[in-house]
Amino acid sequence: MAINITKENFNKIIEGSDVPVLIDFWAAWCGPCKMLGPTIEELSKEYKDKAIIGKVNVDEAQDIAQEYGVMSIPSVMVFKGGEVVDSSVGVKQKSYYAKVLDKAL
């Protein structure tokens, strides 16, 4: 299951991880976010021991979304070593996210 990332645990997860971290910026009212949700959950199972998969609710963590320039959702960012190494906006195929994660590994 994808980790719920909040302003309280964001820095610890991003900066403290020695594996890539994929974050889905989403909101409960966002239709495309709901479409992407199952893909994110599948990735969290498939990459369980290789990466951290998390979700940031932009309504609850507006400061994080603002800090990373999230203007549209869903936005997905991959962090490695505390830095953004890839980002995308909108719903993509699962294979796209898998390729990005594999590259970050």
In three state form, how does the secondary structure of 44-69 look? Answer: HHHCCCCCEEEEEECCCCHHHHHHCC
Residue 7 scores a pLDDT above 90: yes
Annotation says 84 is catalytic = no
Annotation says 36 is catalytic = no
The domain locations on the chain are 3-104
Task: Using a cut of 0.75, tell me whether the model's pTM lies above it.
Answer: yes
Instruction: Give the β-pairing of 52-57 and 21-26.
Output: parallel
Residue 52 scores a pLDDT above 90: yes
- The domain defined by 3-104 carries CATH number 3.40.30.10: yes
Give tens-digit pLDDT for 12-48. Answer: 999 889 999 999 999 999 999 999 999 999 999 999 9
**Which residue in 3, 13, 30, 98 is the catalytic one?**
30
* Phi, psi angle pair for 24, to nearest 5°: -100, 115
Residue 59 pLDDT: 97
Q: What mean pLDDT do residues 49-63 have? A: 96
Distances (CA, A) of 50 to 11, 34, 53, 67, 78: 19, 25, 10, 26, 13
CB 13 within 8 A of CB 21: yes
**Which residue in 2, 14, 23, 33 is the catalytic one?**
33
For the chain, give the mean pLDDT: 96
